[in-house]
């Protein structure tokens, strides 16, 4: 029940952010590559977005993933994140936002827990880059059809436009994921 409420609240925030930017579903679809039907299901709370889609939507909306989860950053251009920060579920992963001072847009850092029993998702593709650092466990990173096993204290940096997905070994994994999306802010979309 709590997960359904969180997905519904996320959908409401997605819709509100899109409407605040004056964008239609068609325009968001064109800007992100996410189908209009899928966007509609995300906004209505019928579907839970993957991390890749959250990053893409946040970039197109000129906001942070944490803001889509309802975390408001106010104050100085410095933000700190405690180890007990709220965890959010997305695509079978637990995500803790670890970045986002006011007006921050270039980078998105998240602590991500990949449970051992997580079903592999479809490979993600989105604009930008990702850098990951394995904090514990063994992460299985499938990138461009090749499987890489990354142990504790191992990092990887890659083009997120190529197909990629995460799974974990028998013990699960926790990682730091930094996503950068360096395209200019979306000001208007032509159709």
Record the pTM: 0.68
Range(s) of the chain covered by CATH 2.60.120.10: 88-180
What's the pLDDT score for residue 5? 57
CATH architecture for residues 88-180: Sandwich (2.60)
Nearest to residue 159, comparing CAs of 184, 124, 191? 124
Range(s) of the chain covered by CATH 1.10.260.40: 2-68
Contact between 64 and 103 under an 8 Å Cβ cutoff? The reply is: no
Contact between 23 and 31 under an 8 Å Cβ cutoff? The reply is: yes
Burial class (CB in 10 A: 0-12, 13-18, 19+), 90: buried
Q: How far is it, in rounded angstroms, from Cα 166 to Cα 64? A: 21
What's the pLDDT score for residue 3? 54
What's the pLDDT score for residue 98? 83
Protein fold of 2-68 = 434 Repressor (Amino-terminal Domain) (1.10.260)
Blockwise average pLDDT, block size 10, the chain, 191 residues: 64 88 90 90 88 83 80 66 82 83 76 88 86 95 95 95 90 92 41 26
């Amino acid at each position: 029940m709590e997960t359904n409420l969180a997905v519904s609240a996320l959908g409401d925030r997605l819709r509100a952010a899109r409407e605040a930017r004056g964008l239609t579903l068609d325009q968001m679809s064109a800007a992100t590559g996410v189908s209009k039907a899928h966007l509609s299901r995300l906004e209505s709370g019928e579907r839970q977005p993957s991390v890749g889609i959250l990053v893409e939507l946040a970039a197109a909306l000129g906001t942070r993933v944490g803001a889509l989860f309802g975390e408001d950053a106010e104050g100085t251009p410095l933000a700190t994140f405690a180890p007990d920060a709220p965890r959010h579920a997305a695509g079978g992963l637990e995500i803790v936002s670890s970045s986002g001072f006011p007006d921050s847009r270039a980078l998105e850092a998240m602590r991500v827990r990949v449970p051992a029993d997580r079903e592999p998702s479809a490979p993600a593709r989105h604009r930008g880059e990702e850098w990951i650092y394995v904090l514990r466990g063994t992460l299985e990173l499938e990138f461009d059809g090749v499987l890489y096993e990354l142990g504790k204290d191992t990092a990887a940096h890659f083009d997120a436009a190529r197909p990629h997905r995460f799974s974990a070994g028998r013990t699960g994994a926790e990682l730091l994921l930094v996503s950068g999306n360096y395209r200019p802010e979306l000001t208007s979309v032509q159709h």
